[in-house]
Structure 1
Amino acid sequence: MAGRIVPVTRLAEPAGAALGALFGGMAALRGGKPVHPDGHVYGAVVRRTGSPRRWGSSWLDDAGEDRGIARLSRAAGLPEPLPDVHGLAVSFTGMDGRRHDVLLATTGLGRWTRFALRPTRRIRAPYGSLMPYQAPRGHVLLAAVPVPRPLTPPENVMAFRLLAATPTGPWRPFGSLELSRRPGSPVDDPVRFDPVRHLLPGLRWPPVLARLREPAYAAARRTAVSPAGHTEA
């Protein structure tokens, strides 16, 4: 097994550097965001009921509530009704006073399709983390599945059931996510989400995935977007 892991580890850094160069170039061309250039920002409430499968992470295992913002967007920015990979990003401040971000994209939920991006015309679709986090008790994938039910109060626009699973195991619910309109706020804020710097409580990225993802996010951060839509080096 060691003979298989070592080459992957060595390839992670050059692959991450290549992604960083690609994302940096796209960010410069697009004026800030290399992917998901346009979207809608909502108020977000995460209500955690606790996972029946214990992960050793209080954020997954214990009941609680987190409030922040969420952004729905199209990855390539293709005009509707063309299919695109949709993104769901959530950011909140935890009980520890620190910021925490999670990024999900439209994927399947099957044994293999949970690791594949899925272009779709519908924004109401299953979203997944695509890559597994490392929890104290094993690797865990996250997913958000839209809930087809009326929402109250009326300012709520969409709700999701939050799920967690091992890379090959069944999905188990651990909470819900509700998105709501923000009266008086712009439709899309110049906000950046960074799941590498702002990890979820009690979770981390496996070292190989961290080395792969960090250069891309670092390159995107170097070209910031101002509220007026201009780029800032």
Structure 2
Amino acid sequence: MKRRASIRKSSRRHPLWWLVPVTFSLSFVAGGGCAIVIALAQQSSHAESITAEQSENPAVAQVVTPALPALLPNGRPRLFPLPPAQSVWTCEVVVIGGSLGGVAAASHAMKAGATTCLIESAPWLGGQISAQGVSALDESDTLRQTQSFSDSWVGFKRRIEQQRVRLPAWTGLAAERQVADLNSCWVGTLCFLPKAGETAAAALLKESSTHTLGSRWGTATRL
């Protein structure tokens, strides 16, 4: 009598079943990486062929971007897109901004012996005392009463007082006068024309630069 062999399907998974999806994933990643490498190599080869063609055949058309003016219609420097650098300054200390605080920082750095570069985007130095048109020093009553001013600040105010400015004819005064002779306002103890503040700031930097050769500053400039 023949016996029928029965085959039972096992419900248990092979102990290495997990290698199938892992192998597939690794193959996919490796294939993608190879595709990226090949694409980059082709792009590089294409760029080299274009360069070689341009060198062999000068008649190959080239895209030339027209140069934009360095200054905007309002006189401010163009920040985007940046024009090519006209000069490169090398210094130990860089002061960005020629405001009253920036001028003071650059002056002290120069006197300390550091080669200093100051860059101001506006046409004038001085900030509040010149370019902003607020030509009056802002000092608190407490500082005035106690005279708690540094020697450098007192010397800078004296420098402003010594500046000579030209007045319009409608003032009825002499065309050129010293700031100390014109100082009269209710805002502060020292008021003056903006040009006097700008001239005093530039003079301070010029004098301070004698302590360190190579220091430079400029207005209407950009990084």
> Please, what TM-score do these two structures have when normalized by structure 2?
0.20
> Please, what TM-score do these two structures have when normalized by structure 1?
0.19
Greater percentage in strand:
1
Higher RCO (CA < 8 A, seq sep 6+): 1
Greater percentage in helix:
2
